[in-house]
Amino acid sequence: MKMFIDTPKIYLHKQPVDFRKSINGLSMLVEHEMQQSPFSGALFVFCNQQRTRLKVLYWDQTGFCLWYKRLEKDKFRWPRLMPGKVLSISEQQWHWLLQGIDIQKLTPHQPLSYQSAG
């Protein structure tokens, strides 16, 4: 099962959160700390203090969904050094983060746009 394909936006809450928070508590963080609408369809990603667990909150047009992942070994490479309280990442970076790759150290080629080949 592939989850989170073609998501409109993915936002990381960079500071660890209390994992006793569920849908209501996390949606309040989205509104008040992340300054986003929890009803936008975006993925809102939260990590615990130890960086061994993730929670993802999203609205699927009929209600809130809460996805949870616990690592049995190792830690998520959480981008703590990147600027800002909230980080918007690409779908590729999201997949890298789930695979344990440090997205702070990866810099893909910049897209180019030309008007003429000559």
d(CA 26, CA 7): 19
More confident residue, 105 or 96: 96
Give the pLDDT of residue 98: 87
Task: Tell me phi and psi for residue 67, to 5 degrees.
Answer: -105, 140
More confident residue, 4 or 55: 55
Q: What are the pLDDT digits (tens) for 23-63? A: 999 999 999 999 999 999 999 999 999 999 999 999 988 99
Give the pLDDT of residue 5: 66
d(CA 53, CA 63): 23
Give the pLDDT of residue 42: 95
Q: What are the pLDDT digits (tens) for 74-96? A: 888 888 777 778 899 988 888 88
| Confidence category of residue 4, pLDDT binned at 50, 70, 90 | low
Radius of gyration of the chain (CA): 16
Residue with tokens 């959480």: 78
End-to-end CA distance of the chain: 46
| Confidence category of residue 116, pLDDT binned at 50, 70, 90 | confident
pLDDT at residue 1 greater than cutoff 60: no
Give the pLDDT of residue 105: 72
What does 56-87 look like in DSSP terms, one character per residue?
A: EEEE-SSSEEEEEEE-SSS-----TTSSSSEE
- Provide CB contacts within 8 A for 48, sequence distance 6+: 16, 17, 19
The pTM of this model reads 0.82
